[in-house]
Amino acid sequence: MEHLPQIASDACELMPCQLEWCQVQYRGWEFWSKIQDDELNYQLRDSRMMAGAPVVFSSTMPKQRIKSIMAKMSDVVTFVVQFWAPIKVNGSTFLSTADQPFAFSGLLDKRLFEYRKLCLDTLIPIDVYNEDLLGPPGRVFQSGLLEYNSDVGSYSEGEFPLLENAIRLGICSYCAIPVFNLHDHQCLGVFEIASTDTCLNFRGPMEDLESSGLYIRYPIDLFSRPLQPGEEAALDLITMIEMGLNILPFAQIWVPCSQSRSLKALVCAGSSGFDLFSYDELNNVSECCFIMSGKALVGRAFSSQGSCFCKDVTLLSLKEYPMVPSA
């Protein structure tokens, strides 16, 4: 353990601004800017349009609260977690991770420090929808829906603008989680988790976020919570359908989300089949996905009340089939 502080200090030297750090758990480390707005000034200095421009932080998420949440996030795998917050520059809104705390679980991997530095060079415009610029944090902030990918290499460059560098740095699995204020359900920002391991456990961090008093749009399994009024009939129907689907290797049932009336989305309410083990990863990813009504294969089938068929879903884009990396 004696060499770990030296590794942390050496890794800090890779960053453009001075950092403070501390060990929060046996396998957890936190880092933050030593000088206020130091990273933000670094981020804006290369842009003539933004240099010296007034910056307003739109997020009401206190940095100390972000640090306390990150302190709880730890796992046996190696990952970096950082927070993307909305800021206004010259009246335009961007997502930025500058001057926001970030944390590590597991090894202090210098490749993940370099990924953090790449993100410091990135501003994500969110006022005007431009899919090629948004990347996962921008998509998640705008949609309010979690995004998980167990294979970063399955993204296209349009879906993940930092793809080439992420692959070079050995990033394998990825998760972006939107967090909301409990009172007005305003999106406060996005927690981004990038891992050099293939078995990122995204459920643990989400439980930590929820225990910290934040609201997360996360699909709730009908079988693992008390039923709400009117859901008993839906559960009976699901059970009947599952009995009929046991002749298939793997099948899923998607139902309208009852967690939020304003969110017209579907959630995976159950899986069935005689070969569930082979589809374990696909099943786990599906359980944390929302699919908007009218979007993708599942959403279009629901809204049109008709069938959609695809011979090979692995050829589809992330937009057409959100679970395609696992597929």
Burial grade of 114 (CB within 10 A; 0-12, 13-18, 19 or more): middle
pLDDT at residue 235 greater than cutoff 50: yes
- Mean pLDDT check: name the lowest of 29-43, 75-89, 238-252: 238-252
pLDDT at residue 220 greater than cutoff 80: no
pLDDT at residue 137 greater than cutoff 90: yes
Banded pLDDT at 83 (limits 50, 70, 90): very high
The angle formed by the CA atoms of residues 66, 31 and 103, to the nearest 5 degrees, is 60
Q: Please indicate whether residue 318 or residue 80 has the higher confidence score (pLDDT).
A: 80
Decide: helix, strand or coil at residue 278: helix
> 4-211 falls under which CATH superfamily?
GAF domain (3.30.450.40)
pLDDT value at position 28? 81
Instruction: Please give the mean pLDDT across all residues of the chain.
Output: 77
pLDDT value at position 268? 79
- Mean pLDDT check: name the lowest of 34-38, 115-119, 133-137, 211-215: 211-215
Residues of the chain with CATH 3.30.450.40: 4-211
pLDDT value at position 2? 46
pLDDT value at position 194? 93
pLDDT at residue 49 greater than cutoff 50: no
Please give, one letter per residue, the 3-state secondary structure of 115-127: HHHHHHCCCEECC
Query: What is the rounded distance in angstroms from the CA atom of residue 251 to the CA atom of residue 275?
Result: 10
Residues 252, 271: contact at Cβ < 8 Å?
Answer: yes
Q: Please indicate whether residue 241 or residue 164 has the higher confidence score (pLDDT).
A: 164
Burial grade of 293 (CB within 10 A; 0-12, 13-18, 19 or more): middle
Q: What pTM value is reported for the model?
A: 0.75
pLDDT at residue 23 greater than cutoff 50: yes
pLDDT at residue 40 greater than cutoff 50: yes
